[in-house]
Amino acid sequence: MNKTKLLLLLALLAGVAAFFALDLGRYFSLAFVKESQAAFSALYAERPWTVTAVYFVVYVVITALSLPGAAIMTLAGGASFGLVWGTVVVSFASTLGATLAMLAARYLFQDSIQQRFGRKLAEVNTRLDKEGAFYLFTLRLLPVIPFFALNLLMGLTRMKAWTFFWVSQVGMFAGTVAYVNAGTQLAKLDSLRGILSPALLGSFVALGLLPLAVKKLLDMAKRRRVYARWASDRPKAFDRNLIVIGGGAGGLVSAYIAAAVKAKVTLIEAHKMGGDCLNYGCVPSKALIKSAKLAHQMRHAGRYGLTDAAPAFSFKAVMARVHEVIKAIEPHDSIERYTGLGVEVLQGYGKLVNPWTVEVALNGGGTQRLTARSIVIAAGARPFVPPLPGLDDVGYLTSDTLWDELAQRDTAPKRLVVLGGGPIGCELAQSFARLGSQVTQVEMAPRIMIREDEDVSELARASLVADGVQVLTSHKALRCELNTGVKTLVVEHNGVEQHIEFDDLLCAVGRVARLQGYGLEDLGIPTNKTVETNEYLQTLYPNIYAAGDVAGPYQFTHTAAHQAWYAAVNALFGEWKMFKADYSVIPRATFIDPEVARVGLNEQDAKAQNVPFEVTKYGIDDLDRAIADSEAHGFVKVLTVPGKDTILGVTIVGTHAGDLLAEYVLAMKHGLGLNKILGTIHTYPTLSEANKYAAGEWKRAHAPQGLLAWVKKYHDWKRG
């Protein structure tokens, strides 16, 4: 807290202390007001504007300092000024005082509160930005929270002062009128209980609930408007409780949950069960990475006391193993398994006909129409193919097509250009380089893995370069050319064009949601790169949900499964309880060698969001197990709240980083700090000790040096 804030805080505390020390509260009692009413009225008759001004200022000060006495002041206003003028004076004085209290709390405490609890308050801030005025108005009418406390709490939010002022003015008006009116009958009052009769309290409660009821009615009206054009199409009865479009991670989990709670559910998948992850993404790429890593270890067998050896292998056999791995995992996502779980699985293309009906163009021919009370769209995503001139002429691979196309070849691509420096591009570039391809990686950004910190990007680049990948950053792909059978990619760097010859080109510049062909346009469901949903994963139509890559904001298999729980539960039980999708702790991993794994904030994110942080870094080159495995490279980097062990985010670079990250994901999810990790026994010798040692680094940096100096003196004294 800076000097100005400290002085203001001390001044406010001094004012409050003086109020109680001088027993000024005796002037704000019902007895005193009744005794002084005649004298006060006479003074008001003699000097109306002076008395009004003094009364106004005192009321503002009492309210601004959150002192007891506002209710008595309101009664006095009614007794002295009458109902109309008293209501005007009290209304503006109370609102001005409340606004000053709010601004004081904001000036003194908002920054520190937002910095300390910014991530936890993110949802509250978002909600207040959208509907803060409504909630404040409701609370002013329904005093669940005392007015002074509400003033202080709202000061910690981002609500605009003018919004706070006018909403408070309107919201407090009914209560002000009631108290001022009671003040006009001051002689008849024996206590404040005479004002707060059960009937009056009931009226306030009814008045406070009115905005909530109105909002509910407006929501119902909005819902009726959305469904109005389909009113005649709504079935009187439904074939199913839930229809799920898409058999990837999001769709499979949605269908599984529905079947588990005995709902009647149909899953529609046009192509392969398991979606992108099983057939084109996570599974095949990790199988390829394993083979490539083994080839790399053979070439560097000297690191393990063996003899370096050039691996002899058939590329076709490597690709055959990839497909064998897919086949081995296929039963987990198969039609047979899900049918056995109670899910009806239809193979075909599902298209929304209306908000409750899906028409399925069956793969075996014919169509079938299904109705359901709720629908989940989990259509996934596809590789984005950049609109490069000449790309179709030279041909290209994507992360979807390469597995089948390259499986027919006896050798790996001789010269491979990889477009894209993100996780997919880096994983495949390194793997093919380790399997003998001459790989050139082209990235338009100034560094690869641009979403990670610079030290992570640099370590990733060094690793790829060490494996023979030519990494070209700040290179923009312009066009492709095909001249006498020679394929060329033309790129621009620092204003100069360069030509890169290749045999195969792999587009790995990202993935886009599958939005066409599902009837979204016909129903008017908004899409903007992904299907637009609210926090409950509902689309424009509250009974239609979206989950997984098609919904965003993350394109991870585990996030799709995570979203699927919310979509399915809200779809089946939403009339009783709705759950907001929780993205507070989302882990991610890139499976290059060494692996890169992260959860929460990294340094560049924290700086961009103005989140204060401390960095603790532990080098894995010091870890016993990593040394024994000849994997002594990388680090664990932990961001914490300054001065505390609260974890804001973790980045791990090293072997099995994705596995090591799980401990931090658990800790962040359940609010455990580094002290808890330090106090947990980790098996020796394992890689997981890196997490404990990182916590130890934090502990050493925050050791109480002053106390330790006295402890040293104590031990010196004990030695005599």
Burial class (CB in 10 A: 0-12, 13-18, 19+), 434: buried
What distance in Å separates the CA atoms of residue 657 and residue 649, rounded to the nearest whole number? 14
Q: Mind listing the pLDDT tens digit for each residue in 162-178?
A: 888 988 888 888 777 87
Q: Which pLDDT value is given to residue 300? A: 96
Q: Which pLDDT value is given to residue 670? A: 94
Q: Residue 666's closest CA among 684, 680, 683, 685?
A: 680
What distance in Å separates the CA atoms of residue 184 and residue 179, rounded to the nearest whole number? 9
Q: Residue 506's closest CA among 392, 428, 593?
A: 428
Give the C-alpha distances (Å, rounded to integers) separating 44 from 77, 83, 466, 469, 472: 11, 15, 89, 89, 83
One-letter amino acid identity for 130? Answer: K
Low-confidence ranges of the chain (pLDDT < 70): 1, 115-124, 141-145, 183, 185-220
Question: Helices in 235-314 by DSSP H: which ranges?
Answer: 249-260, 275-279, 282-299
Strands 367-377 and 240-245: parallel
231 DSSP assignment:
G
Q: Which pLDDT value is given to residue 18? A: 85
| Residue 590 backbone phi and psi in degrees, to 5 | -115, 125
Q: Give the domains, in start order, of the chain with CATH numbers.
A: 3-212 (no CATH), 240-383+513-573 (3.50.50.60), 391-510 (3.50.50.60), 594-705 (3.30.390.30)
Q: Which pLDDT value is given to residue 120? A: 65
What distance in Å separates the CA atoms of residue 270 and residue 124, rounded to the nearest whole number? 40
| Reported pTM | 0.79
Q: Which pLDDT value is given to residue 655? A: 97
Are residues 649 and 580 in contact, defined by beta-carbon separation less than 8 angstroms?
no
Are residues 685 and 618 in contact, defined by beta-carbon separation less than 8 angstroms?
no
* Owner of token pair 């408070």: 168
Q: Which pLDDT value is given to residue 143? A: 58
Q: What share of the chain is helix, strand, coil (3-state, %, to 5)?
A: 55, 20, 30
What angle (nearest 5°) sits at the alpha carbon of residue 260, between those of residues 254 and 381? 15
Q: Which pLDDT value is given to residue 213? A: 66
Q: Which pLDDT value is given to residue 218? A: 62
Q: Residue 517's closest CA among 527, 507, 509, 502?
A: 527
Q: Mind listing the pLDDT tens digit for each residue in 467-482?
A: 999 999 999 999 999 9
Grouping H, G, I as helix, E, B as strand and the rest as coil, residue 537 is coil
| Residue 691 backbone phi and psi in degrees, to 5 | -65, -40
* Owner of token pair 């599974």: 283
Q: Which pLDDT value is given to residue 591? A: 97
CB atoms within 10 A of CB 229: 12
Are residues 342 and 259 in contact, defined by beta-carbon separation less than 8 angstroms?
yes
